[in-house]
Amino acid sequence: MILVEEIIQSPAFAKQKKKLNKNQIRDLDEAIRCIVDDPSMGHMKTGDLQGIQVFKFKSNKQEILLAYEISAPCLYLYAFGSHENFYRHLKKYLQH
């Protein structure tokens, strides 16, 4: 089992998180705790997003996707959001 010692947020992730209300931040933090407890919870992506895992969780009755990568001992948080254009924006962000 992989032990996560450090959590690193991408600048886009941190900027997006600042815009959330307290309930949404609580739900996001709970999802991150789940990932830290078991990093294999997300679904591994293939193709252009190879190496990225996506974890799905609910916040305010809406499904949210959280993109991350595990590189022991670090957890890199890239992006989160609803499914609409999520992978397109994530792919564009990772190419830059």
CATH of the domain at 78: 3.30.2310.20
- Which bin fits 42, alpha (ψ -120 to 50), beta or left (φ > 0)? beta
**Contact predicate 2/70, CB 8 Å:** yes
Dist. CA 90–CA 58, nearest whole Å: 19
Domain that holds residue 39: 6-95
Does residue 66 lie within any of the structural domains? yes
Give pLDDT tens digits along the chain (96 positions).
Answer: 678 889 999 999 999 999 999 999 999 999 999 999 998 899 999 999 999 999 999 999 999 999 999 998 899 999 999 999 999 999 999 997
Burial of 17 (0-12, 13-18, 19+ CB in 10 A): middle
